[in-house]
Structure 1
Amino acid sequence: MKIVFIGLGTMGLPMAVNLVKAGYDVHGFNRSDAKVAALVAAGGIAGGVLDSEVEDADVIITVLPDSPDVRAVLLGPDGIVGRLPEGSTVIDMSTVTPTLAVEVAQAAAAQRVSALDAPVSGGEAGAIEGSLSIMVGGEADVVEQRRGLLEAMGQTVVHVGGHGAGQTVKAANQLLVAATIQAVAEALTFLDASAVDLEPAVQVLAGGLAGNRILDRKSASMLAHDFRPGFRVELHHKDLGILLDAARRVRVPLPVGALVSQLMESSLARGDGALDHTALLRGVEQMAGRGR
């Protein structure tokens, strides 16, 4: 099986490497040559001319930053959907709007190509470990046809509905993650200001009803104020915009979602956009007069 993998960033590169480890023939494309070289070092193949590469591809995977990037690569004037061979599958694993996922699926169907929207959750660590949660929208038979490939990248692969459903579930995921990070940031700041020993406090919180994956995976770096990006503030802010737009379409108020989106906006305004989304902690500390 020939896989053309477009987007070898923080998430895409380890995902592509895991496909290589699973025995797939992975041809990588990225704006940075260094990321392509890293894939080649892991046993992948440097992509040549994209238009030519996709003409005999079985699967095309995109992991790109935003909806305009996906639109340009797949549907734009130089988009590749019209060049894909009949029977191939395009799997967009970016986080984009549900409406774009439907648009991609319709364009693919016109070429007798199948499409899945399959965004992921689990961060850089999950991408490296191959333990991502993958929420898949599309036709059930296509999901099953490509399940083995998806399971090479993720531990939890769930078909959540038709085209666009994967992106809708991912939007809900981003609400829960952002709200939890903010809650953890507030709790840590409160505990620190109260002169509580933070590490044992986190340990006991994680063992009770307040336990969550943010405490498990992110608390150590938050306590150390290590905000090297696993998932950048600027990307999470973008995702919350997708969430609020989608919620507006179905007339569902999301007051917590709107608030945490504003807090992400504040983080961007402070110049923290390239930091990990746990940098929300910096905003809470500054509001409390405890900024570092």
Structure 2
Amino acid sequence: MTTVAFIGLGIMGGPMAANLVTAGFDVIGHNRSPEPVQRLVERGGRGAGSLAEAVRDADVVVTMVPDSPDVEAVTIGEDGFYGLVKPGTLHIDTSSIRPDVAKRVAEAGRERGVRVLDAPVSGGEQGAIDATLSIMVGGSPEDFADSRPVLEAVGRTIVHVGPAGSGQTVKAANQLIVAGTIELVAEAIVFLEAHGVDTDAAVRVLAGGLAGNAILDRKAAAMLRRDFTPGFRVELHHKDLGIVTSAAREAGVVIPLGAVVAQLVASLKAQGDGALDHSALLKLVEQLSGRS
């Protein structure tokens, strides 16, 4: 049985680790707070009280942590696991971080005999629960081939997109599209409500035409109820849009609409709504329209 250490058992990591248990892997979970570890144990996994304990016997280490500094800390930091795992261990980082950091971590892994893939995911909390995530993978083709049994236990669309850092670049593009689409759906909802239209009916017909998209399918019903229970927090999307705008500037690419949406998300976070779901952009549209 392949032993998988799973580091980071939050909104996304918890259900992903549970799905690995369901698929028959020996999963050892570690998290900064103990409650998610206990939930994994209740699902049939094992818990570890420290990073070193989690990775000691692992064949594969999966990380799902919030940001670039967190990935660096758990991998190449003073107490990072790259100095603790056995040679040939496969590290699959499913976090969303800066592409340049993913490249730096991969190079450090190679120097220490660790095989590294950047494999950020898309699909939100429900995708993690249902094991239907879209996974964009950067790294060597050989390591990608070895990772497939693990990734197939948590995702449905799994694509190798290029060398180290490529997965994070594609994820940045994903977050650009998602944020822009949420903003447009939010604007459409406020527009429809202002005209007294049956919004449930409107969403159904819009979803069936050229305007159809995953945000209408998965988020619109909750947006209509003003239910912004987090599946993906505003503060995390704010971080991701910072990655997009920085990477675009470095490449000399202009993203005018993306830059506007990044500022809207930043405003929402600054007003204290960073812990809400990113569909809470609807609140900001209402506010700007004088309808809040």
- CA–CA distance in structure 2, aligned partners of residues 53 and 213 of structure 1: 36
Correspondence for 1:156: 157
AA aligned opposite 2:229: R
What secondary structure is seen at the aligned counterpart in 1 of 2:161?
Answer: strand
Correspondence for 1:168: 169
What secondary structure is seen at the aligned counterpart in 1 of 2:202?
Answer: helix
AA aligned opposite 1:62: T
Correspondence for 1:193: 194
AA aligned opposite 1:259: V
Establish whether residue 120 from structure 1 lines up as the match of residue 115 from structure 2: no
- CA–CA distance in structure 1, aligned partners of residues 113 and 230 of structure 2: 39
Q: Is the 8 A contact 2:47 2:54 kept in 1?
A: no
Correspondence for 1:9: 10
**Structure 1 residue 50, shift from structure 2 partner:** 2.1
Residue range with higher mean Cα deviation, 53-62 or 275-284: 53-62
Establish whether residue 97 from structure 1 lines up as the match of residue 71 from structure 2: no
Which string of whole-angstrom CA distances, capped at 9 and with x for unpartnered residues, describes residues 19-75 of structure 1?
Answer: 000000000011121100100010000014322432321011110011111111111
Q: Is the 8 A contact 1:26 1:44 kept in 2?
A: yes
What secondary structure is seen at the aligned counterpart in 2 of 1:60?
Answer: strand
CA RMSD of superposed structures (Å): 0.8
**Structure 1 residue 134, shift from structure 2 partner:** 0.3
What secondary structure is seen at the aligned counterpart in 1 of 2:44?
Answer: coil
- CA–CA distance in structure 1, aligned partners of residues 181 and 51 of structure 2: 40
- CA–CA distance in structure 2, aligned partners of residues 49 and 237 of structure 1: 30
What secondary structure is seen at the aligned counterpart in 2 of 1:211?
Answer: coil
**Structure 1 residue 131, shift from structure 2 partner:** 0.1
Correspondence for 1:68: 69
- CA–CA distance in structure 1, aligned partners of residues 267 and 159 of structure 2: 34
Q: Is the 8 A contact 2:95 2:119 kept in 1?
A: yes
Which string of whole-angstrom CA distances, capped at 9 and with x for unpartnered residues, describes residues 149-205 of structure 1?
Answer: 101000000000000000000000000000000000000000000111100000000
Correspondence for 2:289: 288
- CA–CA distance in structure 2, aligned partners of residues 234 and 50 of structure 1: 26
- Unaligned runs of 5+ residues in structure 1 are none
What secondary structure is seen at the aligned counterpart in 2 of 1:270?
Answer: helix
What TM-score results when the alignment is normalised by the length of structure 1?
Answer: 0.98
Which string of whole-angstrom CA distances, capped at 9 and with x for unpartnered residues, describes residues 211-264 of structure 1?
Answer: 000000000000000000000000000000001111111110111111000000
Correspondence for 2:35: 34
Alignment of 1:1-292 (within 5 A): 1-291=2-292
What TM-score results when the alignment is normalised by the length of structure 2?
Answer: 0.98
What secondary structure is seen at the aligned counterpart in 1 of 2:274?
Answer: coil
Q: Is the 8 A contact 1:17 1:39 kept in 2?
A: yes
- CA–CA distance in structure 1, aligned partners of residues 54 and 235 of structure 2: 32
**Structure 1 residue 82, shift from structure 2 partner:** 1.8
Deviating runs (4+, > 4 A) in structure 1?
Answer: none
Count of residues paired in the alignment? 291
- CA–CA distance in structure 2, aligned partners of residues 52 and 277 of structure 1: 35
AA aligned opposite 1:165: S
AA aligned opposite 1:155: R
Q: Is the 8 A contact 1:6 1:63 kept in 2?
A: yes
